[in-house]
């Protein structure tokens, strides 16, 4: 069950905080990036490779886009 759908008493501390929501959005973007990289290469590129590529090339842009949408 996703964390954001847990009953309040089961949700992690500070689940509604801005930092936690930002973490969840970053995690979703990273996993999507990993999937796209893996599809392009025809193999699982691994989380570490996807993370380094995402941080180096995409994280700042993704965060700016999210803040504009909010």
Give the pLDDT confidence of 4-27 residue by residue, as tens digits. Answer: 555 555 666 676 788 888 889 999
d(CA 32, CA 54): 10
Q: What is the pLDDT of residues 26-58, one digit of tens each?
A: 999 999 999 999 999 999 999 999 999 999 999
The helix (H) or strand (E) run that includes residue 34 is helix 18-41
Q: Look at residue 1 in the predicted model and tell me its pLDDT.
A: 43
Q: Please give the model's pTM, rounded to 2 decimal places.
A: 0.73
Tell me the C-alpha to C-alpha distance, in Å, between residue 44 and each of 7, 38, 48, 51. Answer: 34, 5, 11, 13
Tell me the C-alpha to C-alpha distance, in Å, between residue 37 and each of 13, 31, 32, 59. Answer: 33, 10, 9, 15
């Amino acid at each position: 069950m996703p964390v954001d759908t847990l009953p309040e008493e089961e949700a992690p501390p500070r689940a509604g905080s801005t930092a936690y929501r930002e973490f969840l959005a970053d995690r979703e973007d990273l996993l999507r990036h990993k999937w796209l990289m893996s599809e392009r290469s025809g193999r699982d590129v691994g989380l570490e490779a996807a993370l380094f590529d995402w941080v180096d090339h995409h994280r700042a842009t993704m965060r700016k886009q999210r803040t504009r949408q909010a």
